[in-house]
């Protein structure tokens, strides 16, 4: 699974990258804003995005809506330290609580990986 990570706290982004690697998946890039997440998504076409919910300027929820509007097949996984019941209707495929548990992350990514079908149209 090729993963894009978006978190406005560099230490959290780095930790998530280490956890994704430990779960035997590939980190494409770590960005620190919602706007950068949108740009990186369009450029890199990741299989999944770990998106912090609360980021300055452009929140993770808003960035996810932009991404999903352009690519309804996008797999956004929100990461938050708070309970966020309003995320149910956003189109996200998962929610991880901070601090992220390696076993939970690996299980979520592995389950997504099993259902991943390569879509050539995304690259044309």
Give the tens place of pLDDT for each residue, 15-54.
999 999 999 999 999 999 999 999 999 999 999 999 999 8
Whether the predicted pLDDT of 117 surpasses 60: no
CATH number at residue 57: 3.40.50.2300
Residue 90 falls inside a structural domain: yes
Residue 40 falls inside a structural domain: yes
- Sheet of strand 94-97: strand arrangement: 26-31, 2-6, 48-52, 76-80, 94-97
pLDDT at 120: 40
Interhelix angle 60-70/34-44, rounded to 10 degrees, is 30
pLDDT at 49: 98
Of residues 117 and 4, more confidence is placed in 4
What domain count does the chain have? Answer: 1
E-strand spans in the chain?
2-6, 26-31, 48-52, 76-80, 94-97
Q: State the residue range of the domain holding 18.
A: 2-97
Q: Write down the pTM of the prediction.
A: 0.88
Residue 82 falls inside a structural domain: yes
Instruction: Among 31-35, 46-50, 103-107, 115-119, name the one with the lowest average pLDDT.
Output: 115-119
Residue 10 falls inside a structural domain: yes
pLDDT in tens, 80-96: 887 666 666 777 888 89
């Amino acid at each position: 699974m090729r993963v894009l990570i978006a978190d406005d706290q560099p230490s959290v982004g780095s930790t998530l990258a280490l956890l994704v690697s430990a779960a035997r998946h590939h980190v494409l890039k770590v960005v620190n804003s919602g706007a950068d997440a949108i740009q990186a998504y369009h450029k890199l076409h990741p299989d999944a995005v770990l998106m912090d919910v609360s980021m300055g300027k452009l929140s993770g929820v808003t960035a996810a809506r932009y991404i999903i509007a352009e690519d309804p097949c996008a797999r956004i996984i929100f990461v938050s330290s708070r309970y966020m019941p309003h995320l149910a209707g956003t189109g996200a495929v998962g929610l991880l609580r901070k601090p992220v548990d390696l076993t939970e992350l690996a299980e979520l990514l592995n389950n997504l990986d099993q259902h991943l079908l390569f879509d050539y149209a995304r690259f044309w």
